[in-house]
Amino acid sequence: MRESRRPDSAWALPAPGCDTHNSHFRSPMSDSARPPQRPRGQEGSRGGRRGEQEPGPGPPGRGRGRGGGQVQPPTAVTAVAAASPRDPDGRKRKCLPGARARWVFLGAGRLPPAPAMDCYTANWNPLGDSAFYRKYELYSMDWDLKEELRDCLVAAAPYGGPIALLRNPGRKEKPASARPVLEIYSASGVPLASLLWKSGPMVSLGWSAEEELLCVQEDGVVLVYGLHGDFRRHFSMGNEVLQNQVLDARIFHTEFGSGVAILTGAHRFTLSANVGDLKLRRMPEVPGLQSAPSCWTTVCQDRVAHILLAVGPDLYLLDHAACSAVIPPGLAPGVSSFLQMAVSFTYRHLALFTDTGYIWMGTASLKEKLCEFNCNIRAPPKQMVWCSRPRSKERAVVVAWERRLMVVGDAPEGIQFVLDEDSYLVPELDGVRIFSRSTHEFLHEVPVASEEIFKIASMAPGALLLEAQKEYEKESQKADEYLREIQELGQLPQAVQQCIEAAGHEHWPDMQKSLLRAASFGKCFLDRFPPDSFVRMCQDLRVLNAIRDYHIGIPLTYSQYKQLTIQVLLDRLVLRRLYPLAIQICEYLRLPEVQGVSRILAHWACYKVQQKDVSDEDVARAINQKLGDTPGVSYSDIAARAYGCGRTELAIKLLEYEPRSGEQVPLLLKMKRSKLALSKAIESGDTDLVFTVLLHLKNELNRGDFFMTLRNQPMALSLYRQFCKHQELETLKDLYNQDDNHQELGSFHIRASYAAEERIEGRVAALQTAADAFYKAKNEFAAKATEDQMRLLRLQRRLEDELGGRFLDLSLHDTVTTLILSGQNKRAEQLARDFRIPDKRLWWLKLTALADLEDWEELEKFSKSKKSPIGYLPFVEICMKQHNKYEAKKYASRVGPEQKVKALLLVGDVAQAADVAIEHRNEAEMSLVLSHCTGATDGSTADKIQRARAQAQKK
């Protein structure tokens, strides 16, 4: 289970629905209302909402066991109010101040059955002057025990936990056929599990705080079983224990969890304070210890577990460093040996039973003595446990012998009970559970509130209120008297509080109801009595009654329940696979879904996947149907559980329901479904996730398979390529190689030629490889271009050697330009021929270079070398750019007719341009010239054009 909270872990209990109830519980009457009216108000609230229902005897939605109460007939209050003609609908109504006088019961014929509290204190036994102890039956046990308890190894978990029995514990001489049987029962005796014990001989049994059964074997191996007898795990208590065998073992609970303490055959102690986080501690040797101690126990002080042991008349305290002798203060003389010792539930107190029948009680630190008692029984007791509660008035221990039970404390007389049967004591936080073959009882000190109310002749406010309510039900005016009495003392709030509190400590629903009814009755006469405590108690009791039910069998008291917290209780229900009940409780208490219902559903699903007889499909569907997309349910957790049970296919099916890919992928990887994980990751669009899978795959698969996987996943492939580009260039090359992607391979080598190689030879070599790749890719163009580049590189290198200057990495164009600029016309020509530079480019190139050199003579020669493939307009333009109008004009005359106007305009000869334009009869040209006509100088030209235009239009 995911949750393994200790009972003492502080879970904040939510206060469900308090606010909603608030308004409802506000006094239904106005301030002036008087007693007679009150009951109806109460009735109104009773019949009202669900949240304040009285704690019903049965669990919500479950059948009632025989341990529980019975369905209540409509109580008198209901009957009365319903019969009241004045308020048939039970709504609140304002009452006149003098209404008391008119308080008449119309349904007077129906008297309420008196609660059975006349002899309520019959089972109260006083211990000394101040405390009472009572013992009542929780269940009559359902188990059909063949053996006596004394023939079994018994372990019962605290907090109303389960009981484990090992029949016929390991006796080697027995034949294999009579193997011991390990049985687990609920506290009410309902069998939970039964299994044949096939492992080694067992020494001790015990329950951990998580309600796991720890079975300590003789060889020091501890086997851990679940509540249903499912084997969980095992661990060993170390070599030393294995060699010397376990003599005795104890399971104990600390705030860190559950521990195991072991006494070995060599009379040494080994303990682990937390079995969840196993750290073995071997305790120091006790000097001069020859035989097993007469008794020993674990004590927890300052958050460290110690061992207290008695050897003859001496007591020793073992901590992890040393062994020290201790002497209890005020110990009566004449003790020659200690027969039994008991530490209280909270490790605060210690009781020692000596061979003189004397009991010493004091603090566990052995610094203070509380009291002593002499019971004059020298027989060693079977069990001795503390029976006290938090803030107890009296500290008492319960000592059990074969047929006798004695409660002793700081009083001259103890309380004695006769035990009809073999019984077993289970210490609890606030009392002692005693179970035998036929019954299960609870013995505890009567809580303060109950004592106040029920003590004979008690005049406590709660007692009076209860009385008043009873009288009220009897329709007697005494009710009013009692109430007045309380109110005159101003103790009504305490009275209500007392009743509420006392109700919490009652086991029987009838009694709870009486007290709550009294509280509710009293509450009506109070303004602004905060309703939460009442509401909460109602809710708590409803929950408690439900789980105390015979079928459930968790007899928690109110204090235990509060200590345990609802969260842990829910965990325990889940552990018992009581999912519907747990969910009902959550819904009833309106716990937030994530803490409550979803968590339980998740647990249910985890249990469901373990049902091996159901097919994967059915399980997956069932789970999905129940869970839907309840918030807070993690399908991946459930899937992980399914995988843990070896149901990989089911796990994969469950993962389909998981909406978060981030949760799917890790589990898929764990299940070695890497390819599925990869596609899931890709689907998620989360590149980080893809990367995680990729790296996993890279390590898992061999390179070829890895590449093949990538090949089918383009997205992953490009991602990995990106990574390789920066981090693993060689891998990138392999990737391309594997794909026969010669194009990219070529590009790769070209890139390498720039990045990696400094020397010209290296670069050429890289380029050669690239060219080869391009050929393979059937990319002739790129191959040729690369070859050209190689040639160019070599050439540039030569040029640098011969001419100096910088040529490397210039483009072809720039190389030629540079040559011309440095006067190497021959070489330039040669280069142009070698690389087949097209004429047009060459002309542009030469033109620009020569103009840059301002070598007008050479330019003119060049222009006349043959007919210009780019026309002569560029010549004009370039000359004008260099502001050489004179040269420009030379070329302007040679410009072809289409561009003549432009050229003339460029050199600024507007007039001639106009003539040409007119001659061409070209409208566009004419407007162009016109737009160049500026100022007075061109006035005549402009006119000329306008005229020509007009003429053209006429035609």
Partner 1 sequence: MAFPHRPDAPELPDFSMLKRLARDQLIYLLEQLPGKKDLFIEADLMSPLDRIANVSILKQHEVDKLYKVENKPAFSSSEQLCFLVRPRIKNMRYIANLVNADKMAGRTRKYKVIFSPQKFYACEMVLEEEGIYGDVSCDEWAFSLLPLDVDLLSMELPEFFRDYFLEGDQCWINTVAQALHLLSTLYGPFPNCYGIGRCAKMSHELWRKLEEEEDGETKGRRPEIGHVFLLDRDVDFVTALCSQVVYEGLVDDTFRVKCGSVDFGPEVTSSDKSLKVLLNAEDKVFNEIRNEHFSNVFGFLSQKARNLQAQYDRRRGMDIKQMKNFVSQELKGLKQEHRLLSLHIGACESIMKKKTKQDFQELIKTEHALLEGFSIRESTNYIEEHIDRQVSPIESLRLMCLLSITENGLIPKDYRSLKTQYLQSYGPEHLLTFSNLRRAGLLTEQAPGDTLTAVESKVSKLVTDKAAGKITDAFSSLAKRSNFRAISKKLNLIPRVDGEYDLKVPRDMAYVFSGAYVPLSCRIIEQVLERQSWQGLDEVVRLLNCSELAFTDMTKEDKASSESLRLILVVFLGGCTFSEISALRFLGREKGDTGSSPGLGRSHMPRSN
SS3 495: helix
Q: Tell the smallest beta-carbon distance from residue 109 to partner 1 (Å).
A: 57
Provide the token pair at 445.
């000190």
Q: Tell the smallest beta-carbon distance from residue 47 to partner 1 (Å).
A: 35
Please identify, using beta-carbon distances, which residue of 339 and 638 lies nearer to partner 1: 638
Please identify, using beta-carbon distances, which residue of 42 and 786 lies nearer to partner 1: 786
578 phi/psi in degrees, rounded to 5:
-95, 60
Please identify, using beta-carbon distances, which residue of 453 and 792 lies nearer to partner 1: 792
Contact residues for 771 (Cβ-Cβ < 8 A; gap 6+): 746, 783, 786, 787, 790
Please identify, using beta-carbon distances, which residue of 781 and 886 lies nearer to partner 1: 781
Beta bridge partners of 340: 353
Q: Tell the smallest beta-carbon distance from residue 649 to partner 1 (Å).
A: 23
SS3 635: helix
Q: Tell the smallest beta-carbon distance from residue 84 to partner 1 (Å).
A: 46
Q: Which of 360, 367, 364 is nearest to 384 (CA)?
A: 360
| Greatest CA separation for the chain | 152
Q: Tell the smallest beta-carbon distance from residue 631 to partner 1 (Å).
A: 7
Give CA angle at 377 (373, 380), nearest 5°.
Answer: 105
Q: Tell the smallest beta-carbon distance from residue 811 to partner 1 (Å).
A: 4
Please identify, using beta-carbon distances, which residue of 586 and 837 lies nearer to partner 1: 837
Please identify, using beta-carbon distances, which residue of 472 and 720 lies nearer to partner 1: 720
Q: Tell the smallest beta-carbon distance from residue 687 to partner 1 (Å).
A: 4
262 phi/psi in degrees, rounded to 5:
-130, 135
Q: Which of 299, 329, 323 is nearest to 311 (CA)?
A: 323
* Element containing residue 231 per DSSP (H, E): strand 231-236
Provide the token pair at 491.
């103790």
Distances (CA, A) of 869 to 838, 847, 849, 856, 889: 10, 12, 17, 19, 19
Rounded Cα gap, residues 565 and 562, in angstroms: 5
Count of alpha carbons within 13 Å of 266, Cβ hemisphere only? Answer: 13
* CB-count burial class (<10 Å; 0-12, 13-18, 19+) for 535: buried
Q: Tell the smallest beta-carbon distance from residue 788 to partner 1 (Å).
A: 7
Beta strands per DSSP E along 438-540? 439-445
Distances (CA, A) of 31 to 21, 87, 946: 20, 19, 109
Structural contact between residues 387 and 375, judged by C-beta atoms closer than 8 angstroms:
no
Provide the token pair at 40.
């109806």
Please identify, using beta-carbon distances, which residue of 383 and 661 lies nearer to partner 1: 661
Provide the token pair at 814.
């720039």
Fill in the DSSP letter of residue 489: T
Q: Tell the smallest beta-carbon distance from residue 809 to partner 1 (Å).
A: 7
Q: Tell the smallest beta-carbon distance from residue 683 to partner 1 (Å).
A: 8
Q: Tell the smallest beta-carbon distance from residue 684 to partner 1 (Å).
A: 8
Rounded Cα gap, residues 849 and 837, in angstroms: 16
Please identify, using beta-carbon distances, which residue of 481 and 656 lies nearer to partner 1: 656
Q: Tell the smallest beta-carbon distance from residue 603 to partner 1 (Å).
A: 23
Q: Tell the smallest beta-carbon distance from residue 95 to partner 1 (Å).
A: 44
Rounded Cα gap, residues 372 and 354, in angstroms: 11
Rounded Cα gap, residues 945 and 937, in angstroms: 14
Contact residues for 228 (Cβ-Cβ < 8 A; gap 6+): 184, 192, 193, 577
The distance of Cα 510 from the centroid of its chain, to the nearest Å, equals 40
Please identify, using beta-carbon distances, which residue of 86 and 840 lies nearer to partner 1: 840
Provide the token pair at 532.
């939460």
CB-CB neighbours of 183 under 10 Å: 20
- Positions that interact with partner 1 (CB under 8 A): 631, 659-660, 683-689, 691-692, 695, 714-715, 718-719, 721-723, 726-727, 743, 747, 750-751, 754, 781-782, 785-786, 788-789, 792, 809-814, 835, 837-838, 840-841, 844-845, 848, 870
Please identify, using beta-carbon distances, which residue of 33 and 690 lies nearer to partner 1: 690
Rounded Cα gap, residues 619 and 608, in angstroms: 7
Q: Tell the smallest beta-carbon distance from residue 695 to partner 1 (Å).
A: 7
Rounded Cα gap, residues 951 and 947, in angstroms: 6
Rounded Cα gap, residues 152 and 247, in angstroms: 17
* Element containing residue 451 per DSSP (H, E): helix 448-454
Please identify, using beta-carbon distances, which residue of 765 and 870 lies nearer to partner 1: 870
Provide the token pair at 318.
């073992």
Please identify, using beta-carbon distances, which residue of 200 and 662 lies nearer to partner 1: 662
370 phi/psi in degrees, rounded to 5:
-90, -55
Q: Tell the smallest beta-carbon distance from residue 641 to partner 1 (Å).
A: 22
Q: Tell the smallest beta-carbon distance from residue 814 to partner 1 (Å).
A: 8
Rounded Cα gap, residues 606 and 3, in angstroms: 13
Provide the token pair at 10.
């502080």
Provide the token pair at 389.
């509660």
Please identify, using beta-carbon distances, which residue of 550 and 720 lies nearer to partner 1: 720
Please identify, using beta-carbon distances, which residue of 419 and 715 lies nearer to partner 1: 715
Q: Tell the smallest beta-carbon distance from residue 692 to partner 1 (Å).
A: 6
Please identify, using beta-carbon distances, which residue of 627 and 782 lies nearer to partner 1: 782
Please identify, using beta-carbon distances, which residue of 665 and 914 lies nearer to partner 1: 665
Structural contact between residues 115 and 510, judged by C-beta atoms closer than 8 angstroms:
yes
CB-CB neighbours of 280 under 10 Å: 18
Please identify, using beta-carbon distances, which residue of 534 and 736 lies nearer to partner 1: 736
Fill in the DSSP letter of residue 643: H
Q: Tell the smallest beta-carbon distance from residue 660 to partner 1 (Å).
A: 7
Please identify, using beta-carbon distances, which residue of 92 and 841 lies nearer to partner 1: 841
